Structure 1
Amino acid sequence: MLYVRYFCGLLVVAVLCVQNGGAIRCYECNSVLEPNCIGNQENPLTENLKKECPEKKGDKPYTLCRKIRQFIDFEVNGLKPDTRTIRTCGYEDSQYANRCYQRSGFGGRQEVCACQTDDCNASSLIMSSATLTVGLLLLLKYCSA
């Protein structure tokens, strides 16, 4: 009887660990065209923005989702100051996977967050990271006291 429980436990773990071999699913939108892409209280993300990513772009497989926030700080090349959010599938699996980074140039800047699970580009990874960091610091403070 013990072996049956052991076998059932292993079977459950194996089923939970097996991932779908298909492409990742991400939110795909641009707030200039679809205000709900912003994903805030006034413009919440909607289910119709979720898309299955194609298997590949050229020879590169899609492996992650991205959320890009672009800020145009002052008028440049006829573009008025603006903020936009772009959510998309991604294929570059560099040192920035599951992290955020910032880029800036003349007149603007952008924050790019990349993540590797279905629909993960729904929220800000920075907020999640900040919440996790604060939680860990509080835990360390109270555990060491």
Structure 2
Amino acid sequence: MNILNSLCLFTLFMILIFIKQALSIKCWECRSDADPKCADPFDNSTFAIGDCRDASLPHLPGLRSTMCRKVRQKVHGVWKYVRSCAFLGEPGIGGDERFCLMRTGTYNIFMEYCTCNTKDGCNTSSTTLISSILLSLLFSVHYVFR
């Protein structure tokens, strides 16, 4: 296989990887009231990451999930965490995922919404996942130049 064929194969492979990444996102889906490992610090050892392409809202048919969300709420002194696919809104505040939207209310109520779409599983409290794009790129470069 000559270098031109290898380069074409590599380019096609990368295009397919990026299309897959652009069309769907995978998010952690859990509730801390059902499993305490869903709270912070997040322990994803017992959760499967969910594919948001399969998620839907019955009252908004046709709307696709394109982001992940983590909600941290305190109601009457009790903290609860919810991690899920997100359908509406924008990532972070003004597109900056480092910032979360915070709301407070009367009677000791606090809510924080963190929304992201930079990578699969971005709705965790700490990142330990290696990007599949990076792994694919390393494999492809090794294959082409061996």
* 1:103 equivalent in alignment to 2:103: yes
Structure 2 CA distance for aligned equivalents of residues 61 and 32 of structure 1: 26
The residue aligned with 2:144 is none
Residue identity in the other structure for 1:102: M
Is the contact made by 1:27 and 1:50 (CA closer than 8 Å) also made in structure 2? yes
* 1:51 equivalent in alignment to 2:59: no
Residue identity in the other structure for 1:82: V
- Pair member with larger Rg: 1
The 1:29–1:95 alpha-carbon spacing in structure 2 relative to 1, beyond 3 Å, is closer
Structure 2 CA distance for aligned equivalents of residues 32 and 108 of structure 1: 17
Structure 2: gaps of 5 or more residues: 128-146
Q: Which segment is superposed worse, 81-90 or 114-123?
A: 114-123
Shift of 1:119: 1.7
Secondary structure of 2:111's counterpart equals strand
TM-score (norm 2): 0.62
Shift of 1:82: 1.5
TM-score (norm 1): 0.63
The 1:50–1:3 alpha-carbon spacing in structure 2 relative to 1, beyond 3 Å, is closer
Shift of 1:94: 3.1
Structure 1 CA distance for aligned equivalents of residues 5 and 51 of structure 2: 39
Shift of 1:5: 4.5
The 1:62–1:81 alpha-carbon spacing in structure 2 relative to 1, beyond 3 Å, is same
Count of matched residue positions in the alignment of Structure 1 and Structure 2: 116
The 1:112–1:32 alpha-carbon spacing in structure 2 relative to 1, beyond 3 Å, is same
Secondary structure of 2:68's counterpart equals strand
The residue aligned with 2:67 is 64
